[in-house]
């Protein structure tokens, strides 16, 4: 029995004159992700992409799992292909969906007749296939409102397709279709989710992680590298810059008011990140901040942080609560890694009583009084170690 993967475009269908550009980017991503799964053909027609194995060695299950992570896809399904006659359609439905129908108590049939030359109309297709299934699976009954299994029959130009319904795809826009941005990746729960959310909108992700040895250890570094691998499963490829930040933090600790230490540290992180962003051809920064979650994420503190750089700062989690963020982290499989108990540099030298409403003028004055940071920022950016993570 021939089996293929059907892929439904999402918002790409609404893109007007740019539609073909976005669709081609998505199809390129699909081809790259299934390359290791064997030989497949990838074709597009009427907002539907069909992925067909070209020989028996093609691993359609692995291809399907990889396709489920491709941004730009609204829905996906595996389906059986058969000739366009009712006998073939009914036999194929019985064989292909046998396991599901055997376990089910109720079912219904839905038909879509794209080829209007087919002699039976959609209601007649449903009636014929439904009668066959009732005879083939004793004990099963029809429920058109809430069935356990829905048998889908699609009559297309050359062939008929049989499946049990579409599963939601990754959604969003194709990878790389909306520029590149630099993600400040701390290793906590929030920042990987922020990176995934921006990648879902077509933004290519480069990451920067700040380390403070000996206050942070090798396992903390390995944790962040693991998060990059997980993000690369969706983004395709992630480049990680690992920045030594100890000297800057120690100087802040020794020369700045304790209550604004975290805000000053965040400002200097942003300055280092912006230097790296320019080198990496990133047009914006991404952070995992959610307003009011901690002292450094109040509106006043965020104003002080943003003033440190001239490029845009994207905060996709800004209006979300922790429960919503955790739900996404579990969905993208970063949560268990993020909660591993290894210190990151954001928790080093944390003040006991941080100021929740810092004044920008006071923060800038304290930063300037601590000395000239320009060379330390340049050295930190230039000294970053670089690693690449790819799902291809």
Helix and strand numbers (H, E) in the chain are 14, 15
Alpha carbon 75 to its chain's center: 15
The helix (H) or strand (E) run that includes residue 92 is helix 86-96
Outline where 12-81 has alpha helix (H).
19-34, 60-67
Tell me the Cα Rg of the chain.
Answer: 27
C-alpha span between 314 and 297 (Å, rounded): 14
The first and second tokens of residue 96, run together, are 């292909």
- Burial class (CB within 10 angstroms; exposed 0-12, middle 13-18, buried 19+) of 315: buried
The answer to whether 160 and 114 are in contact (CB under 8 A) is: no
The answer to whether 269 and 245 are in contact (CB under 8 A) is: yes
Task: Give the per-residue pLDDT at 15.
Answer: 72
Residues 142-184 pLDDT 10s:
999 999 999 999 999 889 999 999 999 999 999 999 999 999 9
C-alpha span between 160 and 88 (Å, rounded): 9
Selection from 39, 380, 67, 26 nearest residue 176 by Cα: 26
C-alpha span between 217 and 184 (Å, rounded): 18
Cα torsion at 223, 224, 228, 231 (round to 10°)? 80
Task: Give the per-residue pLDDT at 222.
Answer: 93
Beta-carbon-side half-sphere exposure of residue 391 (alpha carbons within 13 Å): 27
CA dihedral over 289, 292, 297, 301, signed as positive or negative: positive
Task: Give the per-residue pLDDT at 13.
Answer: 64
Residues 358-382 pLDDT 10s:
999 999 999 999 989 999 999 999 9
Task: Give the per-residue pLDDT at 91.
Answer: 97
Query: What does pLDDT average to in each consecutive run of 10 residues of the chain (392 residues)?
Result: 90 73 91 94 87 92 95 95 96 97 97 93 97 96 96 93 95 94 95 98 97 90 95 95 96 93 96 97 97 89 96 97 97 95 80 90 95 95 96 84
C-alpha span between 73 and 10 (Å, rounded): 6
For residue 292, the SS3 value is: coil
Size of the chain, expressed as the number of residues it contains = 392
């Amino acid at each position: 029995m021939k089996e293929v993967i059907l892929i439904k475009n999402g918002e790409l269908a609404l893109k007007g004159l740019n539609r073909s550009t976005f669709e081609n980017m998505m199809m390129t991503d699909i081809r790259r992700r299934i390359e290791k799964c064997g030989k497949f053909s990838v074709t597009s027609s009427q907002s539907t992409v069909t992925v067909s194995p070209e020989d028996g060695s093609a691993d359609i299950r692995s291809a399907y799992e990889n396709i489920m992570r491709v941004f730009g896809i609204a829905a996906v399904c595996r389906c059986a292909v058969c000739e366009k006659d009712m006998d073939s359609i009914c036999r194929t439905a019985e064989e292909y969906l046998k396991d599901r129908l055997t376990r089910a108590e109720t079912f219904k049939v839905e038909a879509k007749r794209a080829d209007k030359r087919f002699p039976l109309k959609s209601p007649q297709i449903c009636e014929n296939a439904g009668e066959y299934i009732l005879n083939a699976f004793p004990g099963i009954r029809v429920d058109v409102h809430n069935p356990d299994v829905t048998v889908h029959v699609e009559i297309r130009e050359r062939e008929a397709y049989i499946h049990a319904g579409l599963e939601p795809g990754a959604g969003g826009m194709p990878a790389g279709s909306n520029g590149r941005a630099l993600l400040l990746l701390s290793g906590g729960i929030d920042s990987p989710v922020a990176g995934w959310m921006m990648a879902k909108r077509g933004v290519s992700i480069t990451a920067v992680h700040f380390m403070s040895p000996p206050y942070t250890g090798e396992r903390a570094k390995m944790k962040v590298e693991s998060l990059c691998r997980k993000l690369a499963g969706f983004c395709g490829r992630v480049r990680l810059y690992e920045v030594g930040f100890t000297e800057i933090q120690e100087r802040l600790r020794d020369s700045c008011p304790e209550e604004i230490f975290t805000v000053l540290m965040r400002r200097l992180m942003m300055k280092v990140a912006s230097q790296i962003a320019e080198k990496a051809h990133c047009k914006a920064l991404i952070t995992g901040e959610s307003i009011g979650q901690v002292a450094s994420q109040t509106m006043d503190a965020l104003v002080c942080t943003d003033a440190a750089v001239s490029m845009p700062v994207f905060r996709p989690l800004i209006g979300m609560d922790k429960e919503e963020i955790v739900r996404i982290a579990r969905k993208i499989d970063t949560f268990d890694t993020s909660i591993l108990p290894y210190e990151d540099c954001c928790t080093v030298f944390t003040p006991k009583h941080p100021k929740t409403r810092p004044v920008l003028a006071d923060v800038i004055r304290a930063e300037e009084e601590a000395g000239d940071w320009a060379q330390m920022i340049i050295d930190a950016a230039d000294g970053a170690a670089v690693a690449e993570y790819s799902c291809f």
